[in-house]
Structure 1
């Protein structure tokens, strides 16, 4: 399509593009042109078959790399649980609450650096930031193999938290540059599913590593950190060459595909003239003060008390259920619940994609967790308690992609999206910090305090998520009564864009 022909189209026209794959979204991708009218309706229509082909190409090029990086991100964080029952506590002379304190140190740095890391991710570009931060936590994981006391272990875990802080929100923000609102939650699940898979794969990998006599001069639990850290470093170096920062710089997309990739994202962002806006303090603040971001962050905080607690204490919980089993067998018992969790982590977001809803899945996930922890509190029967872990994992991990997809769907600008996701994940990791004190040595072997805390957290998720859904519907009805033309009269394009979710045509996406 010629530049003259593109220029002839006004922003008020709805134009068919990408018909039979021959035309492209040139005019939709042009800088300075909005892709919606002032009521938020898309001005452009993309041929579904052509768009599906482009989406599949993006899937193949983006999802595998970030998924593998996140797999080892979670393994490098949670492998301390495997090392614990393989002799770490004894060799480092950890007593009392030392292990819990060691876990907490990680979350202190993780929480402090969460939002700053996502801001740096936007500033540097995720194509460079994600491999770099992955390389950093790979080095820290490897360093765990050479600590000899509590202080050294705390120092390494603190640095591990610094580098891992930007990984989960960074990937979520990165993928929001490539996918539509409805598509995003499922794609997020394809990397967040690596958390339960890390529990399964990490248990298998730790079991295999522990069958070795040594790796050089490194023995027992130290081999877990040495081998897994080395793998992470290697994957990070490869990622520097495989990750593409944004559609416009993707060498594996044609010019037409680049423009279509940009246009389809713009078409969902009311009054937006550019997909990647300049960083702005006001928009950063808009992302963090968004009511849906705040409510979702509370849900994710509560959910993560259980998610992270399970990651760190699953081997310990299994040992309390099957105390007479060998260490390697105990490690293997942690695998099946995580495998079931991985299945539901993908299934629920997949359904979410087709119905373009997220809030209802936050509500639906809570009862299974409530039931699981109720069983833990009600009985000490080992078979019943082991069965309860399947109920818990089948709902827990799905809230990772669902909550991040929800905050992403309910802001407009790229900058607001980066801070909204950063806040959500930061709050999630406050839950992770709480989880490090949920299973105390004095509470063993049945852990009524830890199980009670998780039961209460899941019940509160149910209440908060339900109230959020009711509020979103109520506020959308209130917004229906606003006069868009009147409220936007006299405002410049920049002032309109700065409104973000306060734009009168914006509606909450439940």
Structure 2
């Protein structure tokens, strides 16, 4: 690693960083190229490898504490909201909406049709609108759809809500995985992604108990218990979504919970790993390359098998 700023003070580093960010323009948090580590000031110039390792460990622990628990909560809510229809079925959903035959199975399937169609394009929207705006918007949206599902009076209304719920939830899982790649090295990403994904199992562990408790509200306000499952869990999702604006930070170079030197350290470690710390410029060639790669389809088949 080349330390070209070894004689530069911390205040000088901050000034250079401000100038660097200013030169990148007003769209710096949306469009970027992979930075060169040599273009970024080194806030730890002159420190020993042991000191650097200690600082790096503390930095990533701080990033973990701010990012991972909140993202896990969002995925937990996502899984609760997509699977609570099974609990609603036990509470009398089919009878009240005059469902018969394969109607229930179709209500499950239609969610994943819209989910699968929307998922590949969501990261384009994430890059265009920034993570803070994107995640806040989709969480509030799917929470609203979930709440409205509790006031449907026929099967067609249920299908419509499930279709739009799939569209709204589609952006979370791929969006979070891309978002994490802008904070962690490749060697660190797997553990964080696995921790995030484990929230789905947590949702399944107590989702049924929660729904059973809510279903005891049967008759309150003239609504059946299954309707209150959708309404209460939908309102809870929107409540959490209101805080998402302050809990999600766009990119490392603008993260409010990091000091200027810590932002530099995150960007330098990603540049060293040849990764971007901000949303990259949209290029449709990347999409074509992914579609032509046999590994894309191979992993898709493997995931379907799980």
Q: Could you say whether these structures have the same fold, taking a TM-score greater than 0.5 normalized by the shorter chain as the test?
A: yes
**Corresponding residue number in structure 2 for 1:289:** 292
**Corresponding residue number in structure 2 for 1:277:** 280
C-alpha contact (below 8 Å) 1:138/1:229 kept by paired residues: yes
* Matching residue within 225, 242, 246 for 2:251: 246
Deviation at 1:90, TM superposition (A): 1.2
**What is the root-mean-square deviation in Å for CA atoms of aligned residues?**
2.7
* Matching residue within 105, 120, 129 for 1:100: 105
Deviation at 1:190, TM superposition (A): 2.3
* Matching residue within 120, 124, 132 for 1:127: 132
CA distance in 2, matches of 1:171, 1:251: 19
The alignment partner of 1:251 has SS state of: coil
Question: Which residues in structure 2 correspond to 1:78-157 (within 5 Å)?
Answer: 78-157=83-162
**Is 2:216 aligned against 1:229?**
no
Q: TM-score, normalised on structure 1?
A: 0.50
Deviation at 1:287, TM superposition (A): 3.7
**Corresponding residue number in structure 2 for 1:15:** 2
Question: Which residues in structure 2 correspond to 1:366-445 (within 5 Å)?
Answer: none
Question: Which residues in structure 2 correspond to 1:1-400 (within 5 Å)?
Answer: 14-15=1-2, 34-35=36-37, 47-269=52-274, 276-303=279-306
CA distance in 1, matches of 2:277, 2:179: 16
CA distance in 1, matches of 2:291, 2:217: 48
Listed as ranges, the gaps of 5+ residues in structure 2 are 21-32, 39-48
The alignment partner of 1:179 has SS state of: coil
Listed as ranges, the gaps of 5+ residues in structure 1 are 1-13, 37-44, 304-510
Aligned pairs, number: 276
Deviation at 1:102, TM superposition (A): 0.9
Deviation at 1:283, TM superposition (A): 2.4
Q: TM-score, normalised on structure 2?
A: 0.82
Q: 1:333-379: CA deviations, max 9, x gaps?
A: xxxxxxxxxxxxxxxxxxxxxxxxxxxxxxxxxxxxxxxxxxxxxxx
Greater Cα radius of gyration, structure 1 or 2: 1
C-alpha contact (below 8 Å) 1:248/1:259 kept by paired residues: yes
CA distance in 1, matches of 2:185, 2:143: 32
CA distance in 1, matches of 2:198, 2:254: 28
C-alpha contact (below 8 Å) 1:126/1:174 kept by paired residues: yes
C-alpha contact (below 8 Å) 1:34/1:273 kept by paired residues: no
CA distance in 2, matches of 1:18, 1:228: 53
